[in-house]
Amino acid sequence: MKLNYLLGEPLVITNQPQSLVRAAGATATLSVAALGQDSLTYQWLFKGTPINTATQATLVLPGVQVVHDGAYAVRVQDAISQLQSV
C-alpha cells in the first residue's frame, strides 16, 4: 500500500516588512505579503511581544513617538505552518 498526501505549496513571505524612519507625530505603515494554504492569520510583534489587535497584513501606527522606536516583526500562519518576518 502507498500513501500520497498533497500538502500544497509551503507558506512563504513574498514581501517582507521594510524598515521606516518617520518624524514624531507622523503615521508609520508596515505591511507583509504571504502565500500559503487556506486563509492566513497575522500577528504583529514589537520587540518580540505581540501587539493586541494587530492581526492584519498591514500595521498602521498613527502619531508615532519615541516609545514606538524598535524592532517590529510579523508572524504569519496558515493551516500547516507559521513563519516570522526577518
pLDDT in tens, 7-44: 678 999 999 999 999 999 999 999 999 999 989 999 99
**Which residue, among 18, 29, 33, has the nearest Cα to 76 in the 3D structure?**
33
pTM recorded for the entire structure: 0.88
- Distance between CA 67 and CA 69 in Å, rounded? 6
Which region among 31-35, 54-58, 78-82 has the lowest average model confidence (pLDDT)? 78-82
Cα–Cα separations (whole angstroms), residue 69 to 21, 40, 46, 85: 9, 27, 9, 18
